[in-house]
Amino acid sequence: MEFLHSLNPLYSLSGLAIGALVGFTGVGGGSLMTPVLVLLFGIHPATAVGTDLLYAGLTKISGTAVHRLKGSVDWRITRRLAAGSAPAAALTLIGLAYFGHDSKAANDVITTTLGFALIVTAAALIFRAWLLAKVAGALEKLNDSQIRLLTNLLGAALGVLVSISSVGAGAIGVTVLLMLYPKLPTVKIVGSDIAHAAPLTLIAGAGHWFLGTIDWSLLVSLLIGSIPGIAIGSQLASRVPDRVLRPILAGTLAIVGGRLAI
């Protein structure tokens, strides 16, 4: 009963709004949720990241199940990403534990990395088509071993970014995978990215749980709002012009990212 009293309706309303935006745009919740928790509610950055990671992992499980049923997951890509992300996430969490997650240095690293990740996410949203056209010719010349290595390196980069900031597994991962695997349907790229992001965020979230940076009442409050929010946003997505919403979202992420990074 005491736990129920600790639930905050403001967090649930934020979860509802952010869940709807995730459903509208497909952008990962970490790009939206963590900055709101840090800047709007004043949550400690480590707690915001840790709580958001478990939140993201739980919500991505259902997304993975849907894509698996549709046959839109390329498990070869998922395994290649995981081969890089799992050890990178583990090393990153060990580093946070060693230096102290609540120290000023760790706090600065988390907020700066979060800001950088948001700026890169904004760029990926705006310039995705240009980037794909720019690198298409060069990447077509690579053999499968080179593509596998680059996918491993992408996984490692995502493992570090996600463990520190909870951001990166969505727009950034999908954009680079589209460059590396241009012949695959976009739905398979998205499905493979989500299938990789689910265990990655859960592993990173479990690491933050070990560090003591999970706020359980905050997590439950967010889930109460975001689950129906994602459903509502997904239903209304076709009615919102992507060419209007995407630049607004990218601009917001860039501004927030700049504030956090500086």
Please tell me the total count of domains within the chain: 1
Q: How confident is the model at residue 124 (pLDDT cuts 50, 70, 90)?
A: confident
DSSP 141: T
Residue-level pLDDT at 182: 86
CA–CA distance, 32 with 191 (Å, rounded to integer) = 20
Containing structural domain, residue 162:
2-261
Q: Reply yes or no on whether the pLDDT at 260 is more than 80.
A: no
Q: What is the pTM of this model?
A: 0.83
> Cβ–Cβ contacts within 10 Å for residue 236, how many?
12
Q: Which of 29, 21, 66 is nearest to 171 (CA)?
A: 29
pLDDT 10s digits, 26-68: 566 667 788 888 888 888 888 988 898 888 887 777 777 777 8
Residue-level pLDDT at 37: 87
Query: Chain-centre distance of CA 88, in angstroms?
Result: 16
Using CA atoms, how far residue 223 sits from 19, 61, 183, in Å, is 9, 13, 36
User: What is the pLDDT averaged over residues 134-161?
Assistant: 89
Q: Which of 49, 24, 180, 198 is nearest to 114 (CA)?
A: 49
HSE value, Cβ hemisphere, 13 Å, CA-based, for 144 = 3
